Structure 1
Amino acid sequence: MTHEQHAELIKALHDCAAACNYCFDACLQEDDVKMMAPCIRLDRECADICAYLEHAITRNSPFVAELAQVCATICDACAAECSKHDHEHCKKCAEACAKCAEACRNVA
């Protein structure tokens, strides 16, 4: 498949990485940063795998399906963690992660 055929997934990956990066930075500003450590860690993991998969798609990697499966797993974990918090940035991140996980599963 060409990257044009993965346009929906590319957008979901880009949006998810952006939401995770924003959440990561916002979590660092929270009063109890130590409590937010698992969220921060998963934000980083998720943003990184989303960016990597986006690049892999655009260079027509033969491993897109496998990477999409891993990405879905990480997005699900990040969505679950962010859902534990009441912060608006966490809620938006959880939504973006859930949407991205679903788009990844459609490819995997």
Structure 2
Amino acid sequence: MSKYSSCLEACQECAVACQNCLYQMAGMESSNDCPKCCIECAEICEQAVRVLARDSRYAEQYCQLCAEICDWCAEQCGEHDHEHCKKCAEACRECAEECRKMVGAAA
């Protein structure tokens, strides 16, 4: 499992950041898809953690999708000035990068 450790960690951190952003945005107006993207992103990150933990034969596909959703979430949350949105966007960018590294290494 150590071959996935940095990707696992990035996915876990991203899921937490997305959950926090989602919680902080509750009841607030949003001019874009934040907090909707946080729901999608937290779910795929949590699923990616489970897939990587069991060394699934589909890990690459999950991580590719995870990177795409993280890109979307980073874009949406990155448009906001809230501190929780900025932290979420950064965690999403890091997760997307780690997922792409994992996919590239497995290819």
Same fold (TM over 0.5): yes
The one-letter code sitting in structure 2 at the alignment partner of 1:14 is Q
* Structure 2 residues without counterparts, runs of 5 or longer: none
TM-score under structure 2 length normalisation: 0.92
Alignment-derived partner of residue 72 in structure 2? 77
TM-score under structure 1 length normalisation: 0.91
The offset of 1:76, in angstroms, is 0.3
Alignment-derived partner of residue 6 in structure 2? 8
Aligned residues: 103
* Structure 1 residues without counterparts, runs of 5 or longer: none
Contact 2:33 2:76 in 1 (8 A): yes
1:18 alignment partner, one of 11, 16, 19: 16
Alignment-derived partner of residue 104 in structure 1? 99
Alignment-derived partner of residue 92 in structure 1? 87
CA deviation vs aligned residue, 1:62-108 (integer Å, no higher than 9, x gap): 00111111000000000000011000000000000000000000011
Distance 1:15 1:72 in 2: 14
Distance 1:81 1:23 in 2: 12
Moved over 6 A (4+): none
Contact 1:27 1:36 in 2 (8 A): no
Distance 1:103 1:56, change over 3 A: same
The offset of 1:40, in angstroms, is 1.1
The root-mean-square deviation of aligned C-alpha atoms, in Å, is: 1.1
